Structure 1
Amino acid sequence: PQLHDSSVAGNSMEKPNGVWRRSLDVQASIFASQNISNLDTWPSWNSSAQRVLSPSNGQLQLDQRFDLHRIERQRLVEELWAVTGLRSGASPHFVEIEFSWLGQQREQKPVGTALRSLRMTVTILCEDEGGIEIAAWWNVAWWAKPMSGRVHAQAKAFAQQWLEDLAQKGTVQFEPSRPMHFVEEE
């Protein structure tokens, strides 16, 4: 396997808070692995990504930061993420990407601060009997313990939504969206 980061959370002995799986055929798994690896396709399959902002587009890179933008109740909601691990291999054919949640903002104000940290490792096995697996690790802020049930539900919802979106809408080939270019007028 090609190892880009040896500190991928899935490699640690720490037990995840949750693991979700979806079986896919080989071709659907290949498309899913291509789509999650290419930030340009995210608006086509990820329901939280009506728009994506990132310093670079195309293939995800280690330490890349990106923001998923959507409108909820006529307000801009931003999910802030970073790629903290990348692994891939040919035998077996797989892609594994670790994402760290950097927070959420509504109209540029932090929200969801009760969720102190969230890491998700998305593994896609592109073989017979393969599919998508998402493992998630999260921590709740000490002051949010009385409402920890809702905070745990929020963390689970992130992982389950990515799994559903990728399995339902991300298993076909997309043309990457074209980046916006600004033309300077003289």
Structure 2
Amino acid sequence: MSSITARTALVPRLNRLGWLMALYAENHARLVRLFQPRGLPAGRYISDIGDGLALHVDVIEQHAYTTELRLTYGIADPVTGEPDPSAFLRLYHDTRQLEATHCYVGRRWQDAIGMFPPPARLIGHRLRMNTFLGKWLEYLAERGHGIATLRRVGDLSSASSQTLDEPKSAP
């Protein structure tokens, strides 16, 4: 009986942080396959597949090792007037990871989970956001969105461009 116990201890387990990092890597692969964002200059893009629901891709900033983006549809939230669903993303080129920094209009992570959340709550929140992102990216690929359907529609105006750390707050 002790040999069985010893063998199960040798099987590595993926903890929640490891799971989150793996999710970041999967999401990176999905987004790069879809839109190859590293080669896109900052600006506003639309991917339209003819289903009446165009995807808006805002390339907010391009840096040496990161790209900051926003994915959304042109649907406005009735309360805030902001696009919903909406995800702000940070793409890490060197580590090949994609992180959804927040998915709520006008809400920072502090507003969603508190100012000093325990690590388990913070990781759980990030797991939920990035699981949502993974499912959304998978859905977009299944519907036919991609670099071939993406077209530039202009620059980001100063009123609509926001940094990932400072989202516009809801009224």
**Structure 1 or 2: more helix by fraction:** 2
Alignment TM-score > 0.5, same fold = no
Q: Which has the larger radius of gyration?
A: 2
**Structure 1 or 2: more strand by fraction:** 1
TM-score grouping bracket, smaller chain normalisation: 0.3 to 0.5
TM-score, structure 1 as length reference? 0.42
